[in-house]
Amino acid sequence: MEKQKQKPSKPIKEILWFSLFSTSIKLLLLPSYRSTDFEVHRNWLATTHSLPLSHWYSDTTSQWTLDYPPFFAYFELFLSFIAAQIDPAIVNLHEGLNYKADSVIYFQRITVIVSDLILHYAIYRITRNLDSTKRRLIWILVIWSPALLIVDHMHFQYNGFLLGFLLISISALIEGRDLMGGFFFAVLLCFKHLFAVAAPVYFVYLLRHYCRGGLFKGFGRLLLMGLAVVVVFVAAFWPFVYHNQMLQVIHRMFPFGRGLCHAFWAPNFWVFYIMADKLLAFFLRRMGFNVQRPAGSFTSGLVGDSSPFAVLPQITPLVTFIMVLLAISPCLFKAWKNPQPRKVARWITYAYSCGFLFGWHVHEKATLHFLIPLAINAVDSINDARHYFLLSIVSCYSLFPLLFETREYPIKVTLLLLHCVLMWFGFSSYFSGETTTNSNKHLQKKNYEDISDKGKLGVGVGVGWLCKSYLLGLVAVEIWGQFLHTLFFGNKLPFLPLMLVSVYSALGIMYSWIWQLKWIILSS
Amino acid sequence: MGNKKERKVIIVDQNDNNPWWWLVNKGLGASFLCISLFALLVRLAVSLHPYSGAGNPPKFGDFEAQRHWMEITINLPVKEWYRNSTANDLSYWGLDYPPLTAYQSYVHGIFLKSFLPESVSLFTSRGYESYLGKLLMRWTVLSSDVLVFLPAVFYFVISYSASRPHRHKSEIAWLMAMILLNPCLILIDHGHFQFNCISLGLTIGAVAAIISSRELVACALFTLALSHKQMSAYFAPAFFSHLLGRCLRRRNPFLEVSKLALIVMGTFALVWWPYLHSKEAFLEVLARLAPFERGIYEDYVANFWCTTSVLIKWKKLFNTSSLKLISLAATLSTCLPSMIQQIKDPSNKGFLYALLNSSFSFYLFSFQVHEKSILLPLLPASLLALEEPLVFRWLIHFGLFSMFPLLCRDQLVLAYIALFSLFYLLFYAPRKKDSGKIRSFFTLKLLITTLLVFCSFVLHIVYLAMNPPKRYPFLFEAIIMLVSFTQFVWLALYTNKKQWMLQKQSTWVEKEKKLL
C-alpha cells in the first residue's frame, strides 16, 4: 500500500534537483588543477577540426595522438565547432599546442559537465520505477559519486556520459528491450573500446535471451540484432575503411606496446604478481641463486614494451586476455543457462571487475566501469550495501594519487568522507527502516517495537570487524604516505607510498571481485 | 507517554515520503555532520577561486591586508601593532580591527611562518603571492571556520530545536543548511578573503547562549565578537535591550545587570589588556577602529547615505563631525522601536527579530558602511530562516546582488553563479509534500517579486556584458545599489512591523489563556 502511494511522487523534478545540485558543485570545482588530459583532448579537438578525416588517426603533431574509436572522434569534431566559435586558438593544430588559457579550460570543463546530463538521464531511466528512498540512494551513489567527480571534474575525462550509455543499455536490458540494449552497447563500444570487456556477457545473454523462440524466430532475431550492431559499427568505421585507414585506426586503438601496468599501478591482480616476483627474486638472491635483474623496472614508473619479471613467467597480452575470459566464464555459464534480466546488471559489472583485475595496461580510472553500474544493485539487500560501502571507499581511495597537488588534497578527502557518511546513514536508515516502509497499517503496532529498538537502528549496516579494520588500515596507509614516510625515509624510496596505496587497495578490490563471484555462483 | 510520541514521529516521517528521512532520522548530530562536511566541501571549492586584489599591485586587496597584519603582529611587539612607526606604516593596510583580530593574525602568522617564512617576513613580504602562500592563507580561514563558526552553529541549532520541540527534524536540518551555506558569507570569507566567520560565529554562539538562557556566557561571547570586529556593534542594541528586558523581569534587576556588566568589562579588560596601561595607548587603538576620515560612505553601498547622495550631496552639505552626529542619530532612532519592544517584552523569537532590525538600521544609516556589511543583517535572517523563509531568500538574493560589482572585481563571477544556484536549490530542496511552510508574504504582489527577480537577472547580464556610457561610468553600479537599497528598506520595514506584531500576538494569546 505504501509503495503504491509513493509512486506518484515526481521523480523528474527531483532528478533535476539532484542534477543541478551536482552541476553547481562541478562549476565550483572548475579552477582545480589542470592535468595533461586537458591537452590530450584539446589536441583531439584540433586534430578533428583542422585535418581531413583520413589523417585523424595518422597525425603525430602532438604526442597525444587520437586513440579512441571513431564516435569519440566525431564527438570531438562536434565540440570543436563550438570551441572554434569561442576561441579559434583551441582548435589550431600547431599554434594551439599546450594552449592553456582560461577559455580552453573552461570550455573543456563545461563540455564534461553538460555531457554528464546523459548519465543523469540514464540513472533516472534505470531507477524511475523503484521505491523513492531506494531511488534517491542510488542517485546519491551515482550523481554525487566522489570517484566520478575526481576523475571527470577535477582530473578531467569524459567518463560520465560513456557510463550513461552503458546504464541506458543496462536499463533497456532490465526492461526486456534487448534490441535497444544491444544497440546502445554497440554505440558505447564505438565511443570507447575499453568497455568491450563486457562484450562476451552481452553476446551470451542476448543470444540466449533475445534470440529464442524456436529456430526460425531465433535466427530472425539474431539477424536483427546483428544488423543493429553492424549498422552502428559501419556508421563509425565506414569512413575510415573508405579512406583505407582501418589498420591505422586499429593500431592506434590497441597499443599493446604499452606494458602490463600503467605508471601508477592500478590496484589489480598484477600488483600481487609483481610483488611476488620481487620477493621471490630477493629471497633467491639471498639463497645464492644468480637471478638476473630485469632491464626495466616497475618501480621507476617506466611505461615499457615488455613486462620485466625476474623469476616468474613473463606476461603477454594474450595471457591477460585468457585470464579475463576465464574469470568471466562463470557468469557466462550462468547467463547461458538461465538469462534473467534482473541479474544482467550484476553480470556486466562483474565482467568489468574481471577486466580491471586481470586486464592489460589497466588505468586506475577504470574502477568507474564497475563502481557506477554496481550502484544499481547496491541497495538490493543489506549484504549488497555492505559490499558497496567497502568497494566504493576503496576504489575512490585508489583514485587519490590522480590528484597529487596539495591544493586538492583536502577536497578529495572531504569528498570521500562525505560519501562515507552519506552511504552510512543512507544504508543504515534504509535497512533498519525497511520493515516500516513495507508494512501496512495492521502491522504497525509491531513495528513500533522494532523501531524503538534503538540498538537495531544504530547497527543497521554493521560491516564486521574485518571490514572495519581494513578501512582503518586505509587511513593508516594514507597517513604513512602523507606524513610518516618523509619523516622516516626522507627522499628515499619515493615510490613506496604509491605502491602501498595500490597494493592495499588491490586487496579490497580482490575482495569485491570474490564477493561478486560468490554471488554469481550461489544465486539461482 | 513521551516514548509513544517519539515512535509516532518516526512513523509519520516515513509515511509522509520525506525525501530526507534517512538522513534526519539519525538525529541532529548526524545531519549536522553531513551538512557541515558538505559546507566544508563548498568552502574548499570556493577557496580554489581568486582572492581580492590577486596580482594587482601596489595595494592589492583584503588578502594582502590580512597577510600584512600577520607580518606586523609576529614581527613587532604588541604595543606597536596599532602605532605608526618606521616598521609599521599604517597607511599601508594598517591594522584597523580590535585586538582579537590582531591576536588571531598573530596565531595565523606563526602558522604561516613555520611553513613559509618568506611570506610573513617584515618589509620584504609586501605583496607576497605564491601557490603555497595562497593555500596556507586559505587554510587559516578554513580552520577558523571549522573551529569557530561550525561549533557555534551546532550550539545554536541544538538550543533552537530544544526551544521549539514541535519543529520537524528535517526542518531543523534545512535550517542548518541555510545557516552554513550562506552564499554571501562563503564568497566573502573564502573567495574575497576575510575572517567574518570568527566574529559572526562568536555572535551566533552568543545568540545560542541567550536562547538556552545562559546570559553570562552570551555576554562573554558577544564581547569577544565585538573585540574581533567592531562591526559586531550592529547587534549591540538587540543584545543590550533583550538582556535589559530580561533583567528587569527578575527579582533583583540591579544585581542582574551588574553581573552582566561585570562579565562584559572583564572580558573586555582581558582582550584589551596590552592597551589598557595608558589612556593614549587605548585611544590610539580606538582611533584606528573608527576611520571617520574615510567619509560617510565608500564605493556604491546600498545604504541610505550613498543612495540618497544621488539627490542630496551629503558630503558637501555637512562636514564630517556633523555627519557623524546625524548618522548616529538616524541609526539609533531607527533601531529604537525594536529596542523598546525587546525591553518591554523580551522573547527568544523577538530577540532574533531585534538582531535583524538593529543590524538593518546600522547597515542603512550608520557611518562608513561597506557593501560587505550586508553579512551582518544576513546572519540573524539566516537564523530566522524557518520563521521567515521568504525574507531570508529575498535578503540573500539582493544581498548577493548588491555585492555583485565587488565580486566581479575579484573575478569571482563563476563562484558567484555556482553559489547563487546552490542556494536556490537548497532553499527549494525536495521536501515533504504536505509541508506548506513557505507562505508568501507578498501573495498579491507575486507579479512584483517576479518582476524584481527578472530585473536583477537582467542587470547581472547587463553588468557583465555591456560597457556603461562614458558620461556615467558607474551607472550600473548605481542602479544595482538603488534596486538593492529599496529592497533592504522594504525588508527592514516589514521585519520591524513583524517584531511589533509578535508582542500583540503573544499578549493576545496570553489573554486568551487567561480567559480559558
Contact across the interface for A407 and B19, Cβ inside 8 Å = no
> Which among A17, A32, A426 is the nearest to B22, CB-wise?
A426
Chain B residues touching A444 at Cβ < 8 A: 11
State how far residue A413 is from chain B, nearest Cα, in angstroms. 9
Q: What would the mean pLDDT of A372-388 be, rounded to a whole number?
A: 92
CB B87 within 8 A of CB B80: yes
Mutate to test the interface with A, among B44, B132, B423 (most CBs of A within 10 A): B44
Q: What would the mean pLDDT of B308-323 be, rounded to a whole number?
A: 87
Chain A residues touching B38 at Cβ < 8 A: 418
Cα separation, B365 vs B237, whole angstroms = 14
pLDDT tier, B3 (very low <50, low <70, confident <90, very high otherwise):
very low
CB B173 within 8 A of CB B35: yes
pLDDT tier, B292 (very low <50, low <70, confident <90, very high otherwise):
confident
Instruction: Tell the residue number behind the cell numbers 520525506, with chain if given.
Output: B18
**Residue B193 region by backbone torsions, left for phi larger than 0, else alpha for psi between -120 and 50, else beta:** left
Cα separation, B459 vs B437, whole angstroms = 31
CB A305 within 8 A of CB A316: no
Cα separation, A112 vs A119, whole angstroms = 11
Chain B residues touching A421 at Cβ < 8 A: 30, 33-34, 37
**Strand, coil or helix: A261:** strand
**Strand, coil or helix: B283:** helix
CB B208 within 8 A of CB B345: no
Instruction: Tell the residue number behind the cell numbers 513495507, with chain if given.
Output: A438
Per-residue confidence (pLDDT) for residue B439, from 0 to 100: 52
Tens of pLDDT, residues A10-66: 688 889 999 999 999 999 999 998 888 999 999 999 999 999 999 999 888 888 889
State how far residue A450 is from chain B, nearest Cα, in angstroms. 10
Q: How many residues does chain A have?
A: 524
Residue A204 has pLDDT above 60, yes or no: yes
Contact across the interface for A25 and B41, Cβ inside 8 Å = yes
State how far residue B46 is from chain A, nearest Cα, in angstroms. 6
Cα separation, B149 vs B189, whole angstroms = 12
Mean pLDDT for all residues in chain A: 86
More confident residue, A195 or A291: A195
Q: What would the mean pLDDT of A439-465 be, rounded to a whole number?
A: 46
**Strand, coil or helix: B318:** coil
Instruction: Tell the residue number behind the cell numbers 553581573, with chain if given.
Output: B259
Number of structural domains (chain B) is 1
Mutate to test the interface with B, among A22, A28, A30, A446 (most CBs of B within 10 A): A28
Per-residue confidence (pLDDT) for residue A40, from 0 to 100: 93
Chain A residues touching B17 at Cβ < 8 A: 5-6, 9, 132
Tens of pLDDT, residues A439-451: 443 434 444 444 4
The answer to whether A420 faces chain B, any CB pair under 8 Å, is no
CB A156 within 8 A of CB A108: yes
Closest C-alpha to A345, from A369, A381, A320: A369
**Strand, coil or helix: B289:** helix
**Strand, coil or helix: A155:** helix
CB B155 within 8 A of CB B208: yes
Q: According to the 3-state scheme, what is the secondary structure of A331-360?
A: HHHHHHHCCCHHHHHHHHHHHHHHHHHHCC
Residue A278 has pLDDT above 50, yes or no: yes
pLDDT tier, B1 (very low <50, low <70, confident <90, very high otherwise):
very low
Chain A residues touching B139 at Cβ < 8 A: 410
B85 DSSP 8-state letter:
-
ipTM of this predicted structure: 0.90
Chain B residues touching A109 at Cβ < 8 A: none
Angle at B429 between CA B436 and CA A123, to 5 degrees: 130
CA-to-CA separations, A217 to A201, A213, A221, B435, B492, in angstroms, rounded: 22, 6, 6, 55, 76
Tens of pLDDT, residues B477-510: 999 999 999 999 999 999 999 999 887 766 655 5
Residue B516 has pLDDT above 90, yes or no: no
Which residue in B has a C-alpha nearest to residue A422's C-alpha?
A: B34
Closest C-alpha to A399, from A487, A321, A322, A505: A505
Contact across the interface for B23 and A429, Cβ inside 8 Å = yes
Q: B28-46 and B169-180 helices cross at what angle (nearest 10)? A: 20
Mutate to test the interface with B, among A425, A440, A446, A453 (most CBs of B within 10 A): A425
Residue B358 has pLDDT above 90, yes or no: yes
Q: What would the mean pLDDT of A487-499 be, rounded to a whole number?
A: 83
Per-residue confidence (pLDDT) for residue A10, from 0 to 100: 65
Give the CB-side neighbour count of residue A263, counting CA atoms within 13 A.
4
CB B45 within 8 A of CB A28: yes
Q: Which domain holds residue B400?
A: 2-515
> Which among B3, B41, B422 is the nearest to A414, CB-wise?
B41
Residue A9 has pLDDT above 80, yes or no: no
Tens of pLDDT, residues B185-195: 999 999 999 99
CA-to-CA separations, B234 to A447, B323, B406, in angstroms, rounded: 52, 18, 22
Cα separation, B46 vs B418, whole angstroms = 9
Q: For residue B237, say if its preceding peptide bond is cis, omega within 30 degrees of 0.
A: no
Closest C-alpha to B134, from B196, B221, B55: B55
CB A67 within 8 A of CB A253: yes
The answer to whether A426 faces chain B, any CB pair under 8 Å, is yes
Amino acid at A235: A
The C-alpha torsion from A35 through A39 and A42 to A44, rounded to 10°, is -120
Chain B residues touching A406 at Cβ < 8 A: 132, 135
CB A202 within 8 A of CB A336: no
Mutate to test the interface with B, among A24, A26, A130, A449 (most CBs of B within 10 A): A24
CB B31 within 8 A of CB A405: no
More confident residue, B417 or A315: B417
Tens of pLDDT, residues A101-134: 899 999 999 999 999 999 999 999 999 888 888 9
Residue A126, all three cell numbers = 534505470
The answer to whether A438 faces chain B, any CB pair under 8 Å, is no
Mean pLDDT for all residues in chain B: 89
Per-residue confidence (pLDDT) for residue B443, from 0 to 100: 62
pLDDT tier, A434 (very low <50, low <70, confident <90, very high otherwise):
low
pLDDT tier, A358 (very low <50, low <70, confident <90, very high otherwise):
very high
Chain A residues touching B7 at Cβ < 8 A: 448, 451-452
Distance in Å from the first CA to the final CA of chain B: 25
